[in-house]
Amino acid sequence: MVKSKYQNVLELGEQLNIQNGDVKEENGKLHITGTASNQYEKNQLWDAIKASGGENPQDIMADIKVADTSYYAKHTVQSGESLSRIAKHYYGDPMKYNAIFEANKNILKNPDVIHPDQELVIPNI
């Protein structure tokens, strides 16, 4: 029963290719473990858990580790995007675009010029 409540979380884990994932149901509580590629993916899982179980769910225990903590996420630029739009997506603040620019100076020369298919590092801030 509790597993079906969190089915969206399990499906997201599959989409994100969470490594070493394990799901067990014991005494009406769901136990989930696994390793996300980065902090952003871990946050996505927690957002999905909260969407299903509320802000402080009592029927799930999740132990999600992060494989690489040296960055927050990686992002492949899509047509029409800007650094400020990407910053708003990851940080909720378009003015943090400069942090993304600084972290990607090896491939970016100007914060106003990005190209589709460039893979950007989204830094921890």
Residue 57 DSSP label: -
27-53 residue pLDDT tens: 999 999 999 999 999 999 999 999 999
Indicate whether 123 pLDDT > 90.
yes
Structure tokens at 5: 């409540």
Own/partner pairs, 103-112, CB within 8 angstroms, 24+ separation: 103/71, 111/83, 112/82, 112/83
**Is this structure's pTM higher than 0.85?**
yes
Tens-digit pLDDT profile for residues 92-113: 999 999 999 999 999 999 999 9
Q: Which amino acid is located at 84 in the chain? A: S
DSSP secondary structure letter of residue 55: S
35 CB neighbour count, 10 Å cutoff: 16
